[in-house]
């Protein structure tokens, strides 16, 4: 292991004391959701935006009350757009869309180049509707419906955990599998590449690599990473992340964990999150069937390049056992969601498993999941309850809505 966590950023676990986090306060992009587009944009309903903002502000305040520094993604993006390179790259990326046509593309290129940093952030996150453009009119604008999007909104920006994840002192900008989300990581990558706060931060992965989503990546312990493989993160994505982690000396074991390819279990963090150094809250309906392949290096890195590393893949073993063995602990204790299978199913759907640890044995959770929260407390976990009736309509909880940038190291 060569890398260490630096003072300004980095995390080597899910539970080290949280110092800095990136959130996204929901805004205009949520007002774009309609019953006709919400499925495609990966929302299960139409949130009441004002209430979602109140819930989110209370979430952010709960973190600040615990001395966590809250950074907002759109502030970082707007500050990043002080750089003309960032503006140029962001505009080029969004205009690569095959839906635009040359007339519209030329018009938008000029309009976006003239936009202020804040206006550019707004256009790239809330999207641009056909009836909102003042020029570039022609074949494409005539044939599209007035409320068709020329640039799609990004309502899932709310889930900042998916678009980047820190692994020790490196940031993995992820690669999102669903078309509705792929543009999120273009923006995240610009922030990490060009925002002065992250100057010098080394990046692994990237939005054009094989698919890996942050919600699938769990830092079980220093040197041990679990990665869910399912609807979002692919086997090739896990292999890429493992190669990068091994090559950078960031991990000794990566657990590849197949999960059911279903909406309710889209990421590993929808069924399992850590609440202590040796405790997870877990969906009991999958706990006994969840398995993991331990991936390790067959030979030392030496002077091999990342692609030359030889990986050893162990046969599948029960997840909790494989995890404990890799973590070097006797047992990874499991706290169940709900009391019975039906309650567990209801509370898992409402993100009862998706907790954000602020420190060992302190976790933020949606208040609505009464039984899971009671079980956490019985197990000695302090639960910081937040409201999430509107926030949850995108199917994500406190962990999905937060990207820890700095945690105290456990190693």
Interface residues with ligand CIR (CB under 6 A) are: 42, 156, 159, 161-162, 181, 215, 266-267, 269-270, 394-396, 400
The rounded Cα 326 to chain-centroid distance in angstroms is: 24
Please identify which of the residues 77, 400, 403, 405 carries the catalytic annotation.
400
Backbone angles phi, psi at 313, to 5 degrees: -115, 115
Pairing of strands 18-23, 69-72: parallel
Helices (H), 257-313: 284-287
**Shortest distance (Å) from residue 181 CB to ligand CIR:** 6
Under 8 Å between Cβ of 216 and 205: no
Query: Given the complex with ligand CIR, which of 269 and 347 has the nearer CB atom?
Result: 269
Query: Given the complex with ligand CIR, which of 141 and 285 has the nearer CB atom?
Result: 285
Residue given tokens 């700095």 in the structure block: 406
CA-based nearest residue to 55, from 388, 363, 402, 396 = 388
**Shortest distance (Å) from residue 96 CB to ligand CIR:** 22
C-alpha distances (whole Å) from 370 to each of 193, 269, 376 are 41, 19, 10
**Shortest distance (Å) from residue 347 CB to ligand CIR:** 15
Question: How far apart are alpha carbons 391 and 236 in whole angstroms?
Answer: 31
Pairing of strands 333-336, 382-386: unpaired
Query: Given the complex with ligand CIR, which of 162 and 390 has the nearer CB atom?
Result: 162
Whose CB is nearest to ligand CIR? 215
* Residue 400 known to be catalytic: yes
Query: Given the complex with ligand CIR, which of 87 and 232 has the nearer CB atom?
Result: 232
**Shortest distance (Å) from residue 180 CB to ligand CIR:** 8
Question: How far apart are alpha carbons 5 and 212 in whole angstroms?
Answer: 22
The rounded Cα 63 to chain-centroid distance in angstroms is: 18
Query: Given the complex with ligand CIR, which of 74 and 270 has the nearer CB atom?
Result: 270
**Shortest distance (Å) from residue 158 CB to ligand CIR:** 8
Q: Which of the residues are catalytic?
A: 400
């Amino acid at each position: 292991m060569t890398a260490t966590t630096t003072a300004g950023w980095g995390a080597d676990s899910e539970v080290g004391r949280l110092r800095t986090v990136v959130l996204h306060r929901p805004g205009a992009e949520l007002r774009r959701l309609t019953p006709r587009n919400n499925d495609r944009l990966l929302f299960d309903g139409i949130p009441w935006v004002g209430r979602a903002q109140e819930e989110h502000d209370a979430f952010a305040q709960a973190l600040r009350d615990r001395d966590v520094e809250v950074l907002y993604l759109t502030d970082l993006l707007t500050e990043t757009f002080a750089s003309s390179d960032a503006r140029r790259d962001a505009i080029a990326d969004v205009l690569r869309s095959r839906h635009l046509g040359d007339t519209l593309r030329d018009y938008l290129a000029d309009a976006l180049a003239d936009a202020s940093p804040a206006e550019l952030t707004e256009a790239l996150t809330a999207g641009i509707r056909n009836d909102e453009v003042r020029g570039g009119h022609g074949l494409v604008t005539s044939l599209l419906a007035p409320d068709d999007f020329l640039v799609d909104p990004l309502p899932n920006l709310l889930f900042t955990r998916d678009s980047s994840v820190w692994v020790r002192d490196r940031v993995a900008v992820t690669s999102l599998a669903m078309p509705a989300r792929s543009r999120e990581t273009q923006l995240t990558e610009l922030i990490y590449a060009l925002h002065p706060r992250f100057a010098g931060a080394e990046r692994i992965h990237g939005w054009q690599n094989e698919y890996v989503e942050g919600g699938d990546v769990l830092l079980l312990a220093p040197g041990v990473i679990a990665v869910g493989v399912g609807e979002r993160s692919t086997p090739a994505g896990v292999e890429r992340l493992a190669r990068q982690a091994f090559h950078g000396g960031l991990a000794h074991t990566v657990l590849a964990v197949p999960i059911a390819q279903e909406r309710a279990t889209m990421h590993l963090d929808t069924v399992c999150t850590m609440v202590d150094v040796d405790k997870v809250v877990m969906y009991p309906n999958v706990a006994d069937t969840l398995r993991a392949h331990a991936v390790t290096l067959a030979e030392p890195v030496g002077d091999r390049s990342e692609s030359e590393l030889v990986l050893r893949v162990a046969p599948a073993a029960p997840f909790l056992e494989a995890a404990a063995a890799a973590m070097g602990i006797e047992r990874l204790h499991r706290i169940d969601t709900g009391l019975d299978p039906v309650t567990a199913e209801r509370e898992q759907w409402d993100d009862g498993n998706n907790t954000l640890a602020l420190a060992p044995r302190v976790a933020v959770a949606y208040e609505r999941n009464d039984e899971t929260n009671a079980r956490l407390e019985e197990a000695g976990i302090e639960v910081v309850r937040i409201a999430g009736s509107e926030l949850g309509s995108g199917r994500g909880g406190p962990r999905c809505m937060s990207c820890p940038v700095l945690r105290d190291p456990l190693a």
